[in-house]
Amino acid sequence: MKEDMQKLMRCFFDCLVLLTVALSLTAYFCVLIPPHWLWLSSLFALSIPIWGMLLLLFMGIYLLFKRYRKAFYILIILLLGTPFWRATLALSLPWQASKKQFSVLTYNVDNFSIYDYAETKRSEKSSALIRDVVGDDADIKCFQEYYSSPGDSIFDVTAQLEASGLSHHYIQNMGHPFWGGRFGMAIFSRYPIVAHGQVFYDAKKNNNAIYADLLIGNDTVRVYNVHLQSTHMDRQILQRLDNYHIWTYAFVLYQKSLDMRSRQVGKLAGHIQKSPYRSVVLCADLNDLPYSYSYFKLRTLLSSAFEDKGAGLGFTYNGNLPFLRIDHIFYRGLKLNQYKNLKNLKNSDHFPQKSVF
């Protein structure tokens, strides 16, 4: 009777492991499916870390009971997921001084908190954030949710960046002014900009993609600045909904944003493939986790600075969900010396990312 019970428990455990393996492989495959084909695939792909932890647990149990063949099979499944584990945890050495050719900073600056300033007339946070941006020594700076107001003592950020030595810039201004300034995407550089343009543009939203071709020495490097579709939730609508309808509202918006991001990253990938320059740096707020179609679509074309030179989990969001990594630096045709997540700069709802090439 005891032996029968042990066999039954072993059989049940093996079936549970087999189910987990099947779900893991399905989740791996889901990152390859464009969300505008099947949006639920992207939602299921977010479960990849869960299946990975379960597989590690099951492999440990098999090893404990000396079922080495079963443990080896799980190890194979885990190895198949290596791209996801590399995108999750980086094991490089911390930031170290090195000889540099040029450095790049990417930063979602949350419009320099202009809305808070307009409502409260308090400039401490805005001023601190602008000091962070201007004071950094990067040679190239890419800003998402950029704002500047010409002539303003606090918010004339463009003039301050120019005075710091970034005399070349391309700013894609949005169509709606606010407090004498405009919102947009921006690329600032110490190096001459020989050409620039946009990949996709929506005049009503701050989710766009631009590029600038920089003359660095004898070479030209194409720098992209990208902000993929956000999941915009109207606070006034949220206040009128009960818990059930809030979740429904959130899922509908999430589905729409997934669809938009997959289409946007498709345009971006096509633009990168047509670039006349081998050397490319892409700075991005993807609004997507590393287990997404957007992330792996770009990873088929470019290398990830975090994966190659990062350390730890590298969370980049400084908001209510502090375990997200949605900001990235990708590259090709260059040697990456350093990468750092500047988590000491906490005045925006994102942490800036910096790389030296």
Cβ-defined contacts of 76-80 (< 8 Å, 24+): 77/21, 77/24, 77/25, 78/52, 80/25, 80/28
How many C-alpha atoms does 320 have within 13 Å on its Cβ side? 0
Predicted local distance difference test score (pLDDT) of residue 233: 60
Rounded Cα distance, 356 and 177, in Å: 35
**For the residues of 226-244, what is the DSSP string, one character each?**
EEPPP----HHHHHHS-HH
Tokens at 291, concatenated = 């287990």
Element holding 275 (H helix, E strand): none
Predicted local distance difference test score (pLDDT) of residue 236: 54
Helical H segments across 122-242, by residue range: 124-135, 157-163, 235-240
Rounded Cα distance, 226 and 211, in Å: 9
Rounded Cα distance, 104 and 188, in Å: 10
At a CB cut-off of 8 Å and minimum separation 6, what does 111 contact? 145, 146, 147, 183
Rounded Cα distance, 106 and 22, in Å: 38
> How would you classify the pairing of strands 280-285 and 219-227?
parallel
Rounded Cα distance, 357 and 317, in Å: 24
Q: 302 near 270, Cβ under 8 Å?
A: no
Predicted local distance difference test score (pLDDT) of residue 79: 95
**For the residues of 47-96, what is the DSSP string, one character each?**
THHHHHHHHHHHHHHHHHTT-HHHHHHHHHHHHHTHHHHHHH-EEPPPP-
Question: Distance from CA of residue 173 to its chain's centroid?
Answer: 22
Per-residue pLDDT of the chain in tens (357 residues, 90 and over written 9): 667 677 788 888 889 999 999 999 999 999 999 988 888 888 899 999 999 999 999 999 999 988 999 999 999 999 999 999 998 888 876 655 556 689 999 999 999 988 887 777 677 889 999 999 999 999 999 999 999 999 998 999 999 999 999 999 999 987 777 878 889 999 999 999 999 999 998 777 788 999 999 999 889 999 999 999 987 665 555 555 556 556 676 777 888 888 899 999 999 999 999 999 999 999 999 999 999 999 999 999 999 999 999 988 889 998 877 789 999 999 999 999 999 999 999 999 999 999 999
Predicted local distance difference test score (pLDDT) of residue 246: 63
Rounded Cα distance, 56 and 47, in Å: 15
The pTM assigned to this predicted structure is 0.90
Predicted local distance difference test score (pLDDT) of residue 98: 58
Tokens at 271, concatenated = 């633009």
Predicted local distance difference test score (pLDDT) of residue 191: 97
